[in-house]
């Protein structure tokens, strides 16, 4: 197994543990993620057990976020997942919690409106359809 593959696999496990610690979830690295038979066991996402989000984890120094997002969105289409794609990137020597996350603005606003309601910043009812805004898949 190559050094790069080991680094990516390790980051997926590290990211799952970090998410679990801060959310109480029981997410884990998907079998065969990061290559191989994408979609057969993992559904294309790098982590399993993260409801509503489809995580594409990348541990590289230079990341083309647009290409990584397209990869996540392709995997979502192939698996017909209703989840929201999120690309998470960490560089070497960067703490896990400082990883960068990329998602489309409409998808961010989907989550943000629930936060605003929960914190009392808005009083009107939040849309209850559990779907992201209509334009989230447009480019």
Q: What is the pLDDT along the chain (139 residues), one digit of tens a residue?
A: 566 667 889 999 999 999 999 999 999 999 877 554 444 444 589 999 999 999 999 999 999 999 999 999 999 999 899 999 999 999 999 999 999 999 999 999 999 999 999 999 988 765 655 555 555 444 4
In eight-state DSSP terms, residue 83 is S
Are β-strands 84-89 and 100-102 bridged in parallel, bridged antiparallel, or unpaired? Answer: antiparallel
Does residue 25 sit in the same domain as residue 41? yes
What's the pTM value of the predicted model, to 2 decimals? 0.80
pLDDT at 6: 78
Separation in Å, CA 2 to CA 6, 8, 35, 59, 125: 6, 10, 12, 14, 51
What's the number of domains the chain is made of? 2
Q: Which domain holds residue 62?
A: 3-103
pLDDT at 38: 40
Nearest CA among 99, 91, 104 for reference residue 62: 91
Are β-strands 53-58 and 47-48 bridged in parallel, bridged antiparallel, or unpaired? Answer: unpaired
Does residue 61 sit in the same domain as residue 76? yes
Does residue 69 sit in the same domain as residue 111? no
Does residue 120 sit in the same domain as residue 92? no
Residue in this structure with the two tokens 């980051």, named with its chain if needed: 11
């Amino acid at each position: 197994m190559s050094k790069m593959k080991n680094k990516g696999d390790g980051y997926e496990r590290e990211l799952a543990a970090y998410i679990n610690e801060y959310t109480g979830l029981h997410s884990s690295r998907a079998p065969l993620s990061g290559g191989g038979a994408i979609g057969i066991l993992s559904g294309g996402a790098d982590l399993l057990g993260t409801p509503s989000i489809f995580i594409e984890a990348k541990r590289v120094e230079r990341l083309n976020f647009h290409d990584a997002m397209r990869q996540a969105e392709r995997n979502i289409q192939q698996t017909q997942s209703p989840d929201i794609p999120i690309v998470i990137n960490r560089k070497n020597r960067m703490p896990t919690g400082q990883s960068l996350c990329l998602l489309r603005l409409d998808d961010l606003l989907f989550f943000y409106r629930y936060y605003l309601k929960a914190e009392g910043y808005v009083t009107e009812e939040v849309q209850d359809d559990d779907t992201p805004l209509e334009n989230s898949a447009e480019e």
